[in-house]
Amino acid sequence: MAEPIRDTLLRQLETAWALTRYHLEGLTTEECLRRPARVGLHVQRDADGHWCAEWPEHEGYNLGPASIAWLTWHLGFWWSMVLNHSFGDATLVREKVYWPGTADEVREGISRLHDGWRAEVERLSDEDLRSTERTRWPLQGKPFGDIVAWVNLELMKNAAEIGYARFVLAV
């Protein structure tokens, strides 16, 4: 009997999650808010005290490197969006996803997203993963298994970016 696709996707998630946890461990708020260059995506406080992320108009290299605050915001953004649009009421928008404000809150928030996502994926059958019923964001018309695989890839990419930024800031 073949192993369920869900189990393979969950193992991939845990590999990406292990790298993410490694790079978030010991992360400080100061590191988050340091900019690795004079230009690059970052977060700013709005008039209400929320930490809002800048949104790029393009993805060219001349944007400069993002701050860890922005990278961790981005991770929280896409994971919140995919959770809300796949398993919630599909009403969350980018402008309502804020950076939490401290490294401790980043770790807590990202851990909650991981735990919530994992719990939802664990409930899915291979039939659910082949279905397009839950596929609303960031893609449409694809099997939901493609979204689960995308989450794994996006998490691994964000973990690598955060790790690289920490190496750059460390020296």
Structural domains of the chain ordered from first start: 5-39+65-170 (1.20.120.450)
Average pLDDT over residues 131-144: 96
d(CA 18, CA 107): 13
Per residue in 4-23, pLDDT (tens digit) is: 899 999 999 999 999 999 99
What count of residues does the chain have?
A: 171
* pTM for the predicted model, two decimal places: 0.96
- Give yes or no for a contact between 32 and 103, defined as CB atoms under 8 angstroms apart: yes
**Burial 137-159, CB ≥16 within 10 A → b, else e:** beeeeebbbebbbebbebbbebb
Per residue in 26-41, pLDDT (tens digit) is: 999 999 999 999 999 9
Residue 162 has pLDDT above 80, yes or no: yes
Per residue in 42-81, pLDDT (tens digit) is: 999 999 999 999 999 999 999 999 999 999 999 999 999 9
d(CA 29, CA 110): 15
Give the helix/strand (H/E) hosting 109.
helix 103-122
What does each C-alpha distance from 87 to 28, 32, 151, 159 come to in angstroms?
Answer: 32, 30, 14, 24
